[in-house]
């Protein structure tokens, strides 16, 4: 199992020094050698694969940008990188723990109740058009934070940067979540049309 083997600290130091000089090959080698362990560490903290992937990406951007600041006499390379991942993961947890979800779980619960209520009157059933039902169903299948980002961008007409500011997330994360969510919505809606 290659991901359980700890890379040689001296080799990691050399790759970090290369990354500090903007050597892409050294950075790629560093990434290949350490990303499985760092991803696993992020996943243990966040318990969600997509969040762990985002934190890993942010962490490697930080490692690339701060490789020149690494001081080998203060910490081993893996310890330094693990600390970056841990801090990014905890930052994400802190940001998301205190945010009220717009178009989040209450939205999903109300929509799903309306969709599955056998006792709904004809007027209540007509309140959600066929397209709205399909969209609501597909939106409810998105992860809560992703649904919130899409809701802010499209239902509240906020720009990507405004969504990022409102949710205290990096703009790259917001753009990635919106792109992935739109792909999932498109696939879900297409599947509904075929059914």
**pLDDT higher than 80, residue 194:** no
What is the per-residue pLDDT for 136?
A: 78
Overall average pLDDT of the 152-168 stretch: 83
pLDDT above 50 for 181: yes
- Distance between CA 43 and CA 52 in Å, rounded? 5
Residues with Cβ within 8 Å of residue 134, at least 6 apart in sequence: 189, 192
pLDDT value for 122: 58
Determine the pLDDT at residue 162. 85
Mean pLDDT of 5-10: 78
Q: How far is CA 117 from each of CA 99, 136, 146, 162, 177, rounded to the nearest angstrom?
A: 30, 15, 26, 36, 31
For 86, the token pair is 């841990």
Burial class of residue 17 in the structure, from the number of CB atoms within 10 Å of its CB (0-12 exposed, 13-18 middle, 19+ buried): middle
Helix and strand tally (H, E) in the chain? Answer: 10, 0
Show the tokens assigned to 176: 């990635």
Length of the chain: 195
DSSP per-residue letters across 97-166: HSPPPTTSHHHHHHHHHHHH-TT--HHHHHHS-HHHHHHHHHHHHS-HHHHHHHIIIIIS---HHHHHHH
Average pLDDT over residues 44-64: 91
Question: Two tokens at 144?
Answer: 């809560």
The whole-model pTM stands at: 0.50
Please indicate whether residue 166 or residue 40 has the higher confidence score (pLDDT).
40
Burial of 144 (0-12, 13-18, 19+ CB in 10 A): middle
Residue that the structure tokens 């962490």 belong to: 59
Q: Per residue in 84-122, pLDDT tens?
A: 998 898 888 877 654 434 444 444 455 555 555 556 565
Q: Which of 17-21, 90-94, 143-147, 155-159 has the highest mean pLDDT?
A: 17-21
Q: What is the mean pLDDT of residues 43-57?
A: 89
Give the pLDDT score at 92.
Answer: 85
């Amino acid at each position: 199992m290659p991901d359980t083997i700890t890379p040689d600290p001296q080799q990691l130091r050399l790759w970090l020094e290369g990354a500090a000089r903007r050597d892409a090959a050294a950075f790629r080698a560093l990434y290949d050698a350490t990303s499985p362990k760092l991803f696993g560490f992020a996943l243990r903290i966040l318990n969600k694969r997509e969040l762990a992937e985002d934190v890993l990406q942010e962490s490697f951007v930080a490692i690339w940008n701060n490789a020149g600041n690494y001081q080998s006499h203060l910490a081993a390379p893996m310890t330094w990188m693990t600390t970056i991942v841990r801090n990014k993961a905890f930052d994400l947890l802190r940001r998301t723990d205190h945010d009220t979800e717009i178009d989040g779980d209450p939205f999903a619960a109300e929509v799903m109740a309306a969709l599955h209520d056998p006792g709904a009157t004809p007027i209540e059933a007509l309140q959600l058009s066929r397209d709205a039902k399909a969209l609501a169903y597909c939106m409810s299948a998105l992860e809560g934070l992703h649904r919130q980002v899409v809701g802010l961008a499209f239902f509240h007409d906020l720009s990507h940067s405004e969504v990022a500011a409102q949710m205290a997330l990096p703009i790259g994360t917001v753009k990635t979540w919106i792109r992935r969510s739109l792909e999932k919505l498109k696939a879900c809606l297409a599947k509904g049309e075929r059914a």
